[in-house]
Structure 1
Amino acid sequence: DYQSLLKRHNLRGSMSARGCCYDNACAESFFHTLRVECIHGEDFVSREIMRTAVFNYSECDYNRWRRHSACGGLSPEQFENQNLA
């Protein structure tokens, strides 16, 4: 089972109380968007090519232009530029 797999690899699961459906909402939202915008329909010929595509999407696209409420509705890049000026 899942817990045994974690223990076998010396990992610790990150979960809140049983039945709390909101603890993983941010990660679920990100991975859904990743699948839809980056992975779906692609035919990656190697794991390395897929890793590169996911890295480029998450670091160059998703994190740069997605608006965040924590940044006052600005993208992280806009927020950073505004605060450096």
Structure 2
Amino acid sequence: MIVLRGPINSPQAAILAGMVPGNTLQVAVDRTGAAPVLVVERTPGVRAGSLTMANYLSVITCIDRGFDYEATIMTINGGIYDVRIARV
């Protein structure tokens, strides 16, 4: 099982407002661009940011195979949201 940890890229403050460590976000794949992007969403279709930590492409492959992942907020330091990504 893949478990990754790292920051949310380009976190959307308005969407992440009120979230605290321990809260979860859905992990999804955005395929609207030239390459797939791993994203976190507060609700389906509401992007809170993207993820590019080491091995994130493996998570995209697993999602393509039907596995679900979620991101748990571990720490918040200013505007930096550190999350743990794991299969649910």
TM-score (norm: length of structure 2): 0.23
Q: Which of the pair has the greater relative contact order for Cα pairs under 8 Å at 6+ separation?
A: 2
Which structure has the larger Rg over C-alpha atoms? 1
Compare the two structures and name the one with the higher helix fraction: 1
Compare the two structures and name the one with the higher strand fraction: 2
